[in-house]
Amino acid sequence: MSMTQAGGGATVRRLLLGSQLRRLREARGVSREEAGYSIRASESKISRMELGRVGFKERDVADLLTLYGVEAEQERAGVLGLVRDANATSWWHAYGDVLPGWFQTYLGLEEAASDIRSYEVQFVHGLLQTADYARAVITHGGHVTEPGEVERRVDVRLRRQQVLTAERAPRLLAVLDEAALRRPWGGPEAMRAQIDRLLELTELPNVVLQVMPLGFGGLRAEGGAFSVLGFAEPELADVVYLEQFTTALYLDKPAEVAEYAGAMDGLAADGLSPERTRELLRSVRQEL
């Protein structure tokens, strides 16, 4: 993966560095509590480091390598070399005033992913939204009313979408509940433009859109919307993203990920085919 790819490179390196530190710790039989003590930090700090969800200090990593018995200079240099890249600033940091930290984590994962599979119930997926649709969704909740903040959030949503046409764009499978198409976010004109955008994006070779029709329960995902993100790097496990009102959950335990991956497969099997989805999109557009 290119270091310049849209900001996802730093996230990948944090994940790889954290994964490597975890393997070294476990191989040495060191507990997280012991590791934390060695760098004057808590057990939870070690956990966050190993999950790639915090920045890394070179001194801390060097001390951990010593604790884990890594003495060969070449091996130490290889691990320490990841620290600088892992701490690189990504584009969304400039929007830190309008983005919660838990969502910045997702942005990094999204840009680093080689495969994104998502089920949406209420809204069109953020990677597929038009500016007017995004603006309507952002303002409808009522907790963001200042025009400048609204526009900055819209900017972030549009900036995210560049990943779909990047040199190494991820494969996106988006299963969308038909109810989302029936909610008139922004009014009929905005919805017509949004449907036109969906039809346009389905022409991309890496984008597959399927609609779950009304009357088909979608009970394989009764818990609501979720995303499963996969990565090209074999060392990185798939991650399930569950967004909540004020936070998000990131699941990476194999058994949990397998449950959601199976649900996603079922949703894709139950949803309309891409061809029938395009037919439905055109029909809904004519009704607006």
Average pLDDT for the chain: 91
70 and 127 assigned to the same domain:
no
Burial class (CB in 10 A: 0-12, 13-18, 19+), 143: exposed
| 91 belongs to a structural domain | no
114 and 59 assigned to the same domain:
no
45 and 69 assigned to the same domain:
yes
168 and 279 assigned to the same domain:
yes
How far apart CA 111 and CA 114 sit, in angstroms, is 8
Residues 6 or more apart from 145 whose CB is under 8 A from it?
Answer: 139
Q: What is the mean pLDDT of residues 99-108?
A: 91
The one-character DSSP state at 233 is S
Cβ–Cβ < 8 Å for 180, 120: yes
Between residues 142 and 1, the one the model is more confident about: 142
How far apart CA 267 and CA 247 sit, in angstroms, is 25
| Domain count along the chain | 2
67 and 101 assigned to the same domain:
no
Written as six digits, the tokens of 150 are: 């609204």
Task: Please tell me the predicted confidence (pLDDT) of residue 89.
Answer: 85
Written as six digits, the tokens of 128 are: 């597929």
| 192 belongs to a structural domain | yes
Cβ–Cβ < 8 Å for 131, 244: no
126 and 25 assigned to the same domain:
no
Task: Please tell me the predicted confidence (pLDDT) of residue 241.
Answer: 96
CATH number of the domain to which 58 belongs: 1.10.260.40
Q: How many CB atoms lie within 10 A of CB 257?
A: 18
Q: How confident is the model at residue 74 (pLDDT cuts 50, 70, 90)?
A: very high
Q: Supply the DSSP string of 258-284, one letter for each residue.
A: HHHHHHHHHHHHHSPPHHHHHHHHHHH
107 and 194 assigned to the same domain:
yes
Question: Of 86, 112, 132, which one is at a domain's C-terminal end?
Answer: 86
How far apart CA 60 and CA 67 sit, in angstroms, is 11
133 and 266 assigned to the same domain:
yes
73 and 151 assigned to the same domain:
no
pLDDT tens-digit map of 203-257: 999 999 999 998 775 566 677 899 999 999 888 889 999 998 889 999 989 999 9
Cβ–Cβ < 8 Å for 158, 135: no
- pLDDT at 13 > cutoff 90: no
How far apart CA 157 and CA 107 sit, in angstroms, is 10
In this structure, of 88-97, 151-160, 197-206, 255-264, the range with the lowest mean pLDDT score is 88-97
Q: What is the mean pLDDT of residues 14-18?
A: 90
Beta bridge partners of 251: 240
Give the global pTM. 0.84
pLDDT tens-digit map of 23-48: 999 999 999 999 999 999 999 999 99
The range of the structural domain enclosing residue 20 comes to 8-86
pLDDT tens-digit map of 138-196: 998 767 779 999 999 999 999 999 999 999 999 999 999 999 999 999 999 999 999 99
The one-character DSSP state at 129 is -
119 and 216 assigned to the same domain:
yes
256 and 131 assigned to the same domain:
yes
| 272 belongs to a structural domain | yes
DSSP SS3 for 56: coil
Beta bridge partners of 212: 177
Task: Please tell me the predicted confidence (pLDDT) of residue 203.
Answer: 97
